[in-house]
Structures are given as structure tokens and as C-alpha cells.
Chain A
Amino acid sequence: MNTPYKFKLKFPSDLDYIPPIRKFIAETLTVTQFTPKFAYRSEVIVDEICHNAIVHGSRSLNAEIELECEIYPDKFEFRVKDEGGKKEDLEKLKSVVKKSDVSALGLSEGNENRGLGLEIVRLLSEEIDMEIGENNKTTVRVVRKREDF
């Protein structure tokens, strides 16, 4: 296996940080020869996973989010860790990760946001799984394989 490029980011659990970080990931993928489309889709996935971690996975005021990623020639893998959220939010996350049906979201004009983000992630990724550790600390792992490899 080729040695991947490894990156690690730690940032405050604040939505303000998502735009610079998602763009950083996209730009990094572009310089490692992934296509602009791949970089864009990855940007969206990183956005949605980090958004979820911030909104649902951060109990304390000074919570931090950790993002680690590896860039291989043929794939991009990343993990987002948060300090853990409420039990009902974890259950919701689990059900999306287990390949729920898009129609189950009940998408309509009046029901704009529920679960949309994670469903987008699920539809754009080859692998997605989650691990719940001590005190509900949650790690979501996503793998995207290079389309033209």
C-alpha cells in the first residue's frame, strides 16, 4: 500500500469554521490529482459531517471537532470525531449510516432539513460507518474511491 498523505485538524465546534476547512480539503484533493468533481463532492461530504458533529455532537461549551484524513492515490478517507451528543441524535445518525431510504426522510417543502445532510453523504460515499466510544464520543468515518482509478 502506498503511504498516504495524512492530515489532522482540530477546531472549535462552531459552524464558522466549516467553510475554510471544507475548502482546504477540496483544494488539497485537487493538488493530489483528484478531479474537480471528486474534490467538490468531498467538500460537500466534509461539510455535512462536520455540520452534524457541531450541531448534534457537541455537548460542552468549549467542544472541539477533530478531523483526520488520508489521501491515497485511489481513495480519500476521513474521520470526524466529536465529543458525543444526545442519545436520540445518535440513534438518528445510526439509522442514516445503515442505508435508510431517501423516501423515508419525508422530504417536502415544509420539511426542509431533516436528515438531508447525512443522506447526501450516504449517497455520495462508498463507505460510511460510525463508532461510539466512551461517553458517547462519536467517530464518523467516510471513504470515497477515486472514480477514474
Chain B
Amino acid sequence: MSVKIEKEQIKDKPELLLWKIAGSLGTESINDISSKFEEIINQNYKFLIAEMSNVNFISSAALGQFMGCRQMLVEKGGDMVFSGVNLDIKTKLSAMGALKIFKFYNELRTAINAYEWEVEKKPEKVYLSFPPELKFVPAVRQMVSRIAKQKGYSQRDAFRIETIVDEICNNAVEHGSVDQKKNIEATVIIGKEKIELEVVNTSDPNKIEHLKEISNSLKTLSPKHDERRGRGLALIKMLSNKLDINFSGDGTSVHVTKLREE
């Protein structure tokens, strides 16, 4: 049984190479691995994804060869990871100690997403539209907090983000137009180093002047002590790195940027 290794360049990612591997990675395959790797080691590639969903066997010799490849890439500031390895092979690799050394991803897409996140620091966007009622705010804030934790933010950072989301959404509901009942729209742009939140709602024309007052008072960080919403916005301002409130037509948008602290 032989092995087939096809290399594939990923568009707009000059440092990343994909190996689509198929067949059996027996002892006889180490020459194939070695010669394919030599082709790439002197080029610009630093990161290698070995796509293994069509691999039916791996020997310890082949694994050893992969470890050597990875070591050389790590010395260049890169890495080698696996995607699509089936459970049986993964169990075998675990016995060989491979799980302690290599990262494994279920799917190729997940591996590429991880590369984009870690290396390219590419942010990701989530959009949510929800009815303007207070009872939905806890689920919204917890979702954003969980997204932050899922993407590696600390418990503490995630909690601060949750507080910010809570206060912005409460504001959006309370100052929203009672008649229109248009959904509130929230956009989260989360990156490795910061998170941005934008919440847009239609405003109650009777409350908009009041909201403008609070917004202005934030510039001097002196909200009125009896003003609950003012305290909320002040809290957002203290927990975040940038806060902008815009009033346009009959809508209000609040934009917050928070840098990752831990």
C-alpha cells in the first residue's frame, strides 16, 4: 500500500501549506514524507496542515518523520498540525504520545480558522437581532461572554464583556421606541486582541434628549448619582477602552471597543 501526498497552496496565505495525504503511512512512506518536506522547507512556508481524512494507517516511523518536520517548522517560528484524523488512528497516535506534541483538528476548516485566528489575528463577526424585551438580555449577554471564552478570553475578561453587553442591551431596550417594536441589532467583532460591540436600536423620541444628556455627561465622567442608566453607561466607559454613542434619525447606536487584558 502506498501513500499519496498532494500539496495545496491556500489562497492569500503565503506562509501556509496544505498536504492532502491519502493511503497508508507505513514505514515505507518516510521517504515520501521526507522528500516532499524537502521541497517546501527552503521556501517561505512556516505552517503546514496535514489533512488526514483519507489516511487508513500510520506507523510510528511515519509519526517520527512528522515530528522531525514539525521541529524544523517550529525553528522557523511555525508549526505543523493535523486535521481529519479518524478516531482509531487518533487513539493509536495517543499511545505514541503524539497528542501531547501535535494539535489535532476535526476538520480542515477548523484548522484553517485556527491559523487565521492565531497567526493572522483575523477577527470574526457575529450578528444577532433580537426582540426589544429585557427578558432576552441575559441570554444575549451570556452568549457573547461564552463566545469570548470559547475564543480563549479569560473568565475575568469574559465577565467584563458580559457586563458591558448587559448594560448596552438594557439601555437599548429601555430607551427603545415602545411603538415600533423593531428588533435590536447587535454585532460582535471578536479578535485575538480586542472585541468590538455595536448595538443599534430605534429610539423613543421622548427619551432621546435625555440619552444625549447622559452621553454628554460621560465625557466628563460625572454621571448623576440618581441616574441608573447614566451609571450603566459610566460602567461601560470604565470597563471598555472606547465608547461611542451616535444618534441618527430615530435610532441610537452604541459602539464599544474592549482590549483583551489577560
Contacts and interface: CB of A to CB of B under 8 A. Distances in A.
Interface of B: 10-11, 87, 106-107, 109-110, 112-113, 124-131, 133, 135-136, 138-140, 142-144, 146-147, 150-151, 183
Nearest to B107: A55
A33 B147 CA distance: 25
B142 A16 contact: no
A44 B18 CA distance: 33
A9 B143 CA distance: 11
Nearest to A67: B128
Contact of A12 (B87, B113, B128, B129): B113
A14 interface: yes
A16 B111 CA distance: 12
Interface of A: 5-17, 19-21, 23-24, 27-28, 31-32, 54-55, 58, 61, 63, 112
Nearest to A59: B109
A16 B151 contact: yes
B127 A9 contact: yes
Given A24-B139, A27-B142, A16 B150 contact: yes
Contacts of B112: 61
Nearest to A18: B150
B127 A17 contact: no
B208 to A, nearest CB: 25
B131 A15 contact: no
B147 A54 contact: no
Contact of A27 (B133, B139, B144): B139
Given A12-B124, A23-B142, A24-B142, 15 more contacts: A5-B133, A5-B136, A10-B125, A10-B127, A11-B124, A11-B126, A11-B127, A14-B109, A15-B107, A21-B143, A24-B143, A31-B139, A55-B109, A58-B109, A61-B10
Contact of A14 (B10, B124, B130, B142): B124
A8 B139 contact: no
Contact of B146 (A13, A20, A32): A20
B129 A6 contact: yes
Nearest to B187: A10
A8 B143 contact: no
A17 B147 CA distance: 7
Contact of A9 (B11, B113, B124, B126): B126
A112 B146 CA distance: 29
B12 to A, nearest CB: 9
A20 B150 contact: yes
B109 A13 contact: yes
A8 B113 CA distance: 23
